Chain A
Amino acid sequence: MQNFWFFIEVLVGGLLSGIMYSLVALGFVLIYKASSVFNFAQGAMVFFAVLTFVGVMELGLPFWAALPVAIGVMVLVGMATERFVLRPLVSQSEDTLLMATIGLSFVIEGVAQLAWGVDVRNLNLGIQDEPINWVMDKTGMLISQLDITAGIVASIMVASLALLFSRTKVGRGLRAVADDHAAALSIGIPLKHIWMLVWATAGVVALVAGMLWGARSGVQFALVWVALKALPVLIIGGFTSVPGVIVAGLLVGASEKVVEVYVGPKFGGGVEVWFPYVLAVLFLLVRPEGLFGEKIIRRV
């Protein structure tokens, strides 16, 4: 019986960490859905957003004042990206844009370090990374309060973003722009405004993801590499699907933890470093567009 509860604990822990991955992946999906650009710089944006938030708080502002300041900074970053990186490259191939965002990630990482220094900072959100007592008493499982909170926040964000894209006029405009820039322009959709909106939203999502990750493991440079973990989530879920991100995140998180705990010790551990990627590759071989993605049609 104890083994069963242990398994449930590992599973739930994995599911919750998977939700954290999907939060980061959500930023990618947003930008991809609205501008067909894979924003490699999302990880750097997560890092920069939360670093700005913590840095501003250190300068004396309280929590609720620092939040809009950080959001404002991310909106500015988004606008600058759109103006200086995306607009000059507007009709280039996907690979070119991808490489441009790789360059952008370096710029943002460097600016973050120049502006706020390289020290590791702690972020206290008021919710402790401690087990929930009544769950622990009843079943012996250790499930972190922070993780549960993150799960709830992530679910709310995903639900609201999914509604935005499918039910609102703005959402339709975003989808139109992603499909075909030129066509969207020709029917009067204001491209620049749409892009600014998208990047601003992605910045806000990055801030939320950064805050939750930062509270969990400290605000440090390693946060940038968390975005790399979101890549398998994106691939399995499909680049253009908001609900797909959650499902894939849960899948990746759960499988990663379960494999690490049950198979990892046979190899000395560290399996979770590469397992999500191999899982993503296996998915790709069977279903190249991901679980919920749009089918890729290539014309010659």
Chain B
Amino acid sequence: MFYREAGQFRTSYAQDSQIFPLRQDRIGIAIILMAAVLLPFVANAYWLSAILIPWLVLSLVALGQNILMGYAGQLSLGSAGFMAVGAFACYNFILRVEGIPFVVAVALSGVCAALVGIVFGLPSLRIRGLYLAVATLASQFFIVWALDKFPWFKNYDPAGVITAQPIVMFGHNFASPREKYWVVLVIVAALALLAKNMARGSVGRGWMAVRDMDVAAEAMGLSLLRTKLQAFAISSFYCGVGGALFAFAYLQTVEPSAFTIELSFRILFMVIIGGLGTIMGSFLGAAFILLMPIFLNVSFHGVFGQSVDASVISAVEQVIFGVMIIAFLIYEPLGLARLWQLTKERLRLWPFSH
């Protein structure tokens, strides 16, 4: 009844090629964005710094992983390695370039991660599927080892764990959780919009052609070299920016041991559960993976009263994750994003059933 396109006419090319053609969608997005911006005034510091900021940052990384796995079909297990590149690059840029604005440092570190991504994406031109996953594992282990062993990256710091510098832009130090949240929100929202546009443009169509059948895509004239390396580059850019934000806005430290293979697997799960090949899915999946442990913790305490041993909770968490992944793959392989899409389709028809 409310979610109809009746009466909305598109009279120009610009209107026709909008991301959100329905007025209701545009209103919805505007409300969500406003809520996101105004949230710090109602949320407390714990929610901001322990839940919302990591959610945004990990959604960004999941977005990068989604671009590589969901749109371009290249199985990758190395996202945490590219995050590490981004984090260390950001640290080094801020350290060595006097007065560089934080956003510029983050962008440059994304570019560094993209270059590394291209190098480690070269095997994708010859190998596919599981083999490529193993090659990306090679990148993950090698990058973390290299960042650890060559002390130049850590500025010869003897302790091995570097504190991230404060976020300084235009002379202002974004120190409080609220300000950090806004910086992260702006960056993530801008990059998500960029990703959405890429995905529905010729770039994204090229990726999807490569995903579906790359031999046919090449036969059609699509340059596999350019498309695959582009996918790796852009995905690594997102992971790198995400890594820089992860270190500077969330962890406040820059260390290789924060970017382990377990993190790569977590991001993989975010993408699978959220929905491969969707932008929304990255956000939903990240929320699910982040909130599930907290939800389990709270419900365990509620049901069992006194605190249960942490290892028991984490073991149950693992079992539930595994079961959810299998369940999603069996019943809804397209993930939470598909469930959201089905909901929207139902809403479009409501109150009618068809």
Residue ranges of A at the interface with B (Cβ–Cβ < 8 Å) = 38, 84-85, 88-89, 92, 94-96, 98-100, 102-111, 113-114, 117-118, 228, 231-232, 235, 267-271, 273-274, 277-278, 280-281, 284-285, 288, 298, 300
Contacts and interface: CB of A to CB of B under 8 A. Distances in A.
- The DSSP consensus for interface residues of chain A is helix
Contacts of A88: 330
Contact of B219 (A111, A113, A269, A300): A300
What are the nearest 7 A-B pairs in CB distance?
A103-B325, A106-B322, A277-B138, A110-B318, A107-B322, A110-B319, A274-B141
A100 B215 contact: no
A280 B126 CA distance: 13
B97 interface: no
A118 B311 contact: yes
Contact of B329 (A103, A288, A300): A103
Contacts of A104: 322, 326
A228 B149 contact: no
A292 B189 CA distance: 49
- The DSSP consensus for interface residues of chain B is helix
B323 interface: yes
A274 B131 contact: no
A274 to B, nearest CB: 4
Interface string B178-215: 00000000000000000000000000000000000101
Contacts of A85: 326
A117 B329 CA distance: 29
Interface in B332-352: 333
B321 to A, nearest CB: 5
7 contacts: A98-B133, A102-B265, A106-B325, A118-B311, A273-B141, A277-B137, A284-B131
A161 to B, nearest CB: 21
Given A106-B318, A114-B315, A288-B127, 16 more contacts: A84-B326, A89-B330, A94-B129, A94-B130, A96-B333, A103-B321, A103-B323, A104-B322, A105-B322, A107-B323, A267-B149, A273-B141, A273-B145, A280-B138, A285-B126, A300-B213
Contact of B149 (A105, A268, A278): A268
Contacts of B324: 103
Interface in B128-156: 129-131, 133-135, 137-138, 141-142, 145, 148-149
Interface of B: 75, 123, 126-127, 129-131, 133-135, 137-138, 141-142, 145, 148-149, 213, 215-216, 219, 261, 265, 268, 272, 311-312, 314-326, 329-330, 333
Given A88-B330, A109-B318, A277 B216 contact: no
A80 B103 CA distance: 51
A129 B189 CA distance: 57
Given A267-B149, A268-B149, A274 B142 contact: yes
A257 B239 CA distance: 33
A95 B75 contact: yes
Contacts of A96: 329, 333
B319 A235 contact: no
Contacts of A228: 137, 261
A104 B321 CA distance: 9
Contacts of A231: 134, 137
Contacts of A114: 312, 315-316, 319
Contacts of A232: 134
Contact of B142 (A95, A107, A109, A277): A277
A102 B188 CA distance: 29
Contact of B321 (A92, A106, A298): A106
B315 A102 contact: no
A114 B323 CA distance: 15
B123 A284 contact: yes
A125 B138 CA distance: 34
B319 A106 contact: yes
A107 B141 contact: no
Contacts of B127: 284-285, 288
A281 B319 contact: no
Contacts of B126: 284-285, 288
B318 A107 contact: yes
A284 B131 CA distance: 8
Report which residue of B215, B314, B320, B325 has the largest number of chain A beta carbons within 10 angstroms of its beta carbon. B325
B142 A278 contact: yes
A100 B319 contact: no
Report which residue of A89, A228, A274, A281 has the largest number of chain B beta carbons within 10 angstroms of its beta carbon. A281
Contacts of A84: 326
A89 B329 CA distance: 8
Given A38-B130, A96-B333, A106-B325, A285 B123 contact: yes
A118 B316 CA distance: 13
B338 to A, nearest CB: 14
A109 B268 CA distance: 18
B244 to A, nearest CB: 23
A208 to B, nearest CB: 24
A85 B138 CA distance: 28
A273 B140 CA distance: 10
Contacts of A98: 75, 130, 133
Report which residue of A94, A99, A284 has the largest number of chain B beta carbons within 10 angstroms of its beta carbon. A99
B215 A298 contact: yes
